[in-house]
Amino acid sequence: MRRTFANMAVCMLCCALVISCSAQAPQAAHLDATASLPEHDETVNTHETIESFPNRTNPRRIIVHSDSGGSLDFTCMDPDCQNLTGQIVGSPVIADGTYQVIRTEDTRVAWLQQEGDTVGYMVSRTGTDRAFFKTFSEAQAYEHKGETIKLVGKIILITLLVGIVVFAVAAGAASEANSNVVMTRCTTFGVTTTCTSR
């Protein structure tokens, strides 16, 4: 499962090099081998087409064609496909050339190198949210952006749920306590007093 997640993360990181993906659900298909291309999966997003060889689950090579003309072609450098090497052409953010994408200790951040020099860092957050940064600290800040608000929201939700549970338990305890109490009510009319107990 971890390898599959890592492979999918690498594929998604590559998508960030060309353009941002749309929120629209991608269309995916498996294509049989032809005279010019081996068997592969093809995923079509709003602004790009991603070809994963031999498939999206365990890609060994990833080619991304942007509708704006940019492309990238990356091949795995290791058996687990954690690190990639390949060409980037026509990216609005990264100059044309040969690059290596190296996985960092942070699973959502990859290091982009060219001829041994650091070019920048790619971040892949949930969904289609991806970006490129020049420094690792900027990449990490972007990766964790919005997590404080999510945490505060969860704390508020949990506090409300605990409050409701405490109120329900207290109401139930009060109801049970009242069921064991004998209530006596007395009324006086003239010189006569009448008492009833419940």
Q: What pLDDT does residue 127 have?
A: 55
Q: Residue 53: pLDDT band by 50, 70, 90 thresholds?
A: very high
| pLDDT interval class at 54 (50, 70, 90) | very high
Compute the distance between CA of residue 11 and CA of residue 57 in angstroms, rounded to an integer: 10
- pLDDT tens per residue across span 58-86: 899 999 998 888 999 999 999 888 899 99
The predicted structure's pLDDT at residue 75: 95
Edge-first strand order for the sheet with 97-103 is 27-31, 40-44, 48-53, 61-66, 71-76, 84-89, 97-103, 109-114, 117-124, 130-133
Q: Where are the domains of the chain?
A: 2-145, 150-197
State mean pLDDT over 147-159.
Answer: 67
Q: State pTM to two decimals.
A: 0.58
Residue 189: predicted pLDDT? 73
pLDDT(170) > 50: yes
Identify which of 130-134, 145-149, 187-191 has the greatest average pLDDT.
130-134
Q: Is 35 helix (H, G, I), strand (E, B) or coil?
A: coil
- The whole-number pLDDT of residue 141 equals 86
Q: Flag whether pLDDT at 178 surpasses 90.
A: no
